[in-house]
Amino acid sequence: MDVLIPIDGTDASKRALDFAIEMVVGMGGSLHVVHYTNNQTDATEAILDDARGRLEASDVGGEPELSTLTVDVWTADRVGEEILDTVERGGFDHVVMGHHEDGIVERTVFGSAAETVLRAEAVPVTIVP
C-alpha cells in the first residue's frame, strides 16, 4: 500500500502523520509525506523537521519520501485539487489527512482540502480529527 500524507504543521496533521506511520508499519507499504505551501519559509522547514523526527523515531521501513509542493493559488479547494493531482501522478492507494474543526463560516468561505479529497472518491481516504 502506497500512502500519501499531506501535512501542514497543525496538531491534526501531526496526529494524521502518526496514524499513517502506524498504518504503514502494521500493514506494510510506503509512505510519502508532502507539505503543500504557497510560500517557503522557516515555518516550512520546521514542519518538515518535525515530520522527519516522527519518521526517524518510528519503525516505518524503507525510505519514506518527504517533499514540499508549491501551490500558487492558496485556497483549501485548490490544495485539495493539488493533493488529488499528487495521488494521480504518484499512483497512491490511500490518503491520510488531518482535519480540524472549522466553523460554518470558515467552511463556507475557505472550503476544506480534506473535504475536496474525500468527495473526489479517487482513493480511500482516512480523515484524522
Is 16 within 8 Å of 108 (Cβ atoms)? no
Position 64 confidence tier, pLDDT thresholds 50, 70, 90: confident
- Dist CA 55 CA 7 (whole Å): 13
Measured in degrees and rounded to the nearest 5, phi and psi for residue 14 equal -65, -40
The predicted model gives 18-37 an average pLDDT of: 92
**Residue ranges covered by each domain of the chain:** 2-127
CB 38 within 8 A of CB 74: yes
Fold of 2-127: Rossmann fold (3.40.50)
Confidence of residue 110 (pLDDT cuts 50, 70, 90): very low
7-16: per-residue pLDDT in tens?
988 899 999 9
What does the pLDDT look like over 37-55, one tens digit per residue? 888 888 889 999 999 999 9
